[in-house]
Amino acid sequence: MKREISMIVLSIVVIFGIVLWFSSVSRPIGIGDIILYGCISILVIFALVVAFNRIKAIKAGLPAEDELSTKIKQKAAAWSYYVSLYWWLVIMYFSDKFKLEMNALIGVGLIGMAVLFGIFWAYFNFKGKFNE
Amino acid sequence: MNNRIKELRARYNLTQEDLAKKVGVRRETIVFLEQGKYNPSLKLAYDIAKEFKTTIEDVFYSENKL
C-alpha cells in the first residue's frame, strides 16, 4: 500500500508542478510546451490509474502483483527498450532540423521512452499472449 | 495448452475473483488463463489443481496429443 500511496503523492506533485509552471510562465506557450506537458500529464494519469487499480485489488483481498503482471511488465520493458533505440536514432536525425536545446532533446527522448513503455504495457495487458 | 478452469469453476460455483483469491493471483490472471492466453507456472498450476481437488493433468491439457 505504501508504494501505491507514494505513486499517487508523486503524481499529484508533478501535476501541481505543471499547473504552477503554466500559470507562472511569462513567455508565450508554444506547441512544443503543450506536447511536452501533455505527454507528462498522460504519464501521470497512467500512474494514477495503475495506483488506484492496485489499491482496489489490495482492498478486495487480491495481490497487487502476481506472476502474470510481472511478466507483462518485463515484456513491455524489453520491447520499449528495443523500440526506444530507434526512437533515439530518430531524435538524433531530427535534432539538426528542429534546432532544439540539448536539455529539450534529452527530455523528448526520455518522455518518448516512458510513453513507449506505457503503450507496450497497455498492449500486453489487454491483448498479449503468454502461452508460447 | 488448454484448460478446464471455467468448467471446474462452474462446478464448484466459484467466480473468477473467488478462484484468484484462493490461489493468490489477480483476477486478470484467471481471465488470461481461461482465454488460453497464458500458461501458468508449475506452482500456480498445482495450486489451481489443488483448489479443484484434482490433478494438474485433469485441469490443463495440450492440444497436441501423441
Give the closest residue to B5 by CA, choosing from B54, B41, B43: B54
Chain A touched by B15 (CB under 8 Å)? no
- Digit-coded pLDDT (tens) for A4-56: 888 888 888 888 887 787 777 777 777 777 777 888 888 888 888 888 888 88
Instruction: With beta carbons less than 8 A apart as the criterion, state whether A103 and A31 touch.
Output: no
Is the pLDDT assigned to residue A132 strictly greater than 70? no
pLDDT band with cut points at 50, 70 and 90 for residue B64: low
- Digit-coded pLDDT (tens) for B10-24: 999 999 999 999 999
Chain A touched by B35 (CB under 8 Å)? no
Is the pLDDT assigned to residue B26 strictly greater than 80? yes
Contacts with A65 from chain B: Cβ below 8 Å: 26
In this prediction, residue A126 carries a pLDDT of 85
Chain A touched by B36 (CB under 8 Å)? yes
Instruction: With beta carbons less than 8 A apart as the criterion, state whether A3 and A47 touch.
Output: no
- Cα separation, A87 vs A93, in Å, equals 10
- Cα separation, A77 vs A61, in Å, equals 28
B41 — phi, psi (to 5°)?
A: -70, 165
Q: Which residues pair with B60 in a beta bridge?
A: B3
- Digit-coded pLDDT (tens) for A84-112: 999 999 998 888 787 777 877 888 888 88
In this prediction, residue B65 carries a pLDDT of 52
In this prediction, residue B30 carries a pLDDT of 94
Give the closest residue to A122 by CA, choosing from A62, A42, A6: A42
Contacts with B37 from chain A: Cβ below 8 Å: 128-131
Instruction: With beta carbons less than 8 A apart as the criterion, state whether A37 and A23 touch.
Output: no
- Digit-coded pLDDT (tens) for A44-67: 888 888 888 888 888 888 888 899
Share of chain B above pLDDT 70, in %: 95
In this prediction, residue A70 carries a pLDDT of 92
pTM listed for this prediction:
0.78
Instruction: With beta carbons less than 8 A apart as the criterion, state whether A58 and A22 touch.
Output: no
Give the closest residue to A109 by CA, choosing from A129, A76, A74, A83: A83
Instruction: Give me the helices (H) in A1-132, please.
Output: 2-24, 31-59, 67-98, 102-127
Interval B36-58 mean pLDDT: 94
- DSSP state, A28? P
C-alpha cell at position B51: 483448489
- Spacing of C-alpha B61 from chain mean position: 11
Is the pLDDT assigned to residue B54 strictly greater than 60? yes
